[in-house]
Amino acid sequence: MTLNLNCPVCSYQDITGDTCPNCDTDVRVIRMLQELPPAPTPSAKPFNIVLLILILIGLGLAVAIFWRLSLPQPNTVVVADPTPTQTTKIAPVAVIPPKPPEPKTYKVQRGDNLSAIAQKFCGQQATWQIMLKDNPQLQGRENYIDVGEVLKIPHCQEGM
């Protein structure tokens, strides 16, 4: 099957051969394209398929949104019940305990003594006995702490 072509260069009409008789333009490629008219129709079908997919995605999203919107409703009904909300409000407050202070350390400086260290961290009323509670290794040598020795900082509330 051969089609009569029009030359794209000089518009010579009804070319039956592979080249334009007027300007020698090779029209074989044009003929090949002309003989592929079924091609445009499949290209239209994918477009419809894409449209279909988009519509399906849109429907899916709509269903998902509707599903999400419909889910909170039973939740609000549950929240409306006053007793569980009250217990949940009380529970977190009761669960969180006051964190005990992190055990910090202090390196003994030249001229330090346990009373001075206790007062440094716990105020003027503090006594050296506070230091023994957190540093039992000092028992019996309260007056002979070494410079550079690392002691635990006393827990002031317990000592006072």
Interface residues with Zn ion (CB under 5 A) are 7, 9-10, 12, 20, 22-23, 25
CB 22 within 8 A of CB 10: yes
* Cβ proximity to Zn ion, 30 vs 145, nearer residue: 30
Measured from the CB atom, the residue of 33 and 160 that comes closer to Zn ion is 33
- Can you tell me whether residue 18 is helix, strand or coil? coil
Handedness of CA 26, 29, 32, 33 (dihedral sign): negative
Measured from the CB atom, the residue of 25 and 113 that comes closer to Zn ion is: 25
Task: Identify the residue whose tokens are 């410079």.
Answer: 147
30 vs 114 by CB, closer to Zn ion: 30
CB of 37 to Zn ion, least distance (A): 22
Least Cβ distance, residue 26 to Zn ion (angstroms): 10
| Shortest distance (Å) from residue 17 CB to Zn ion | 11
